[in-house]
Amino acid sequence: MSPRGEWERLICAVQFLTRLPTPSLTSYSPNAVGRSARYFPIAGQLVGLISGGVLIAAAQFWSGWLPALLAVAAGVLVTGGLHEDGLADTADGLGGGHTRERRLAIMKDSAIGVFGVLAIGLTLGAKVGA
């Protein structure tokens, strides 16, 4: 694959996993995201770099849990809450459905339920606490 093609795959991965501004892709195909999966770790490292930068910067002004909260919030903003949405759907489906079909129906529903709220709250709290 050409360097230009690899660059396009990296841009596609960043576009799919984050809300960061990126250059436009010159071409797109239905399997572009699948081909860009090899660059998902780099996109994740970029999110971590941004979150870490926010943590370090905020720690210059505040102490305690506030810098950690701001760093976690930055990660959520950069990703558009992609992982939190998936976690909430999974928690709602597994916690609220008694059959396979009902669980899948709950996971497809865009509304968030009690199990989803609890999962997000506990996970974000654990991230800030850690």
Mean per-residue pLDDT of the chain: 92
> Please, are residues 109 and 93 in contact by the beta-carbon 8 Å criterion?
no
Task: Give the number of other Cβ atoms within 10 Å of residue 125's Cβ.
Answer: 13
pTM of the full structure: 0.86
- Which tokens hold the place of 128? 């800030």
Phi/psi of residue 38, each to 5°? -65, -20
Which segments of 80-113 does DSSP mark as H helices, in order?
Answer: 82-96, 100-108
Residue 40 pLDDT more than 90?
yes
pLDDT category at 27 given cuts 50, 70, 90 is confident
State pLDDT tens for residues 60-104. Answer: 999 999 999 999 999 999 999 999 999 999 999 998 888 888 888
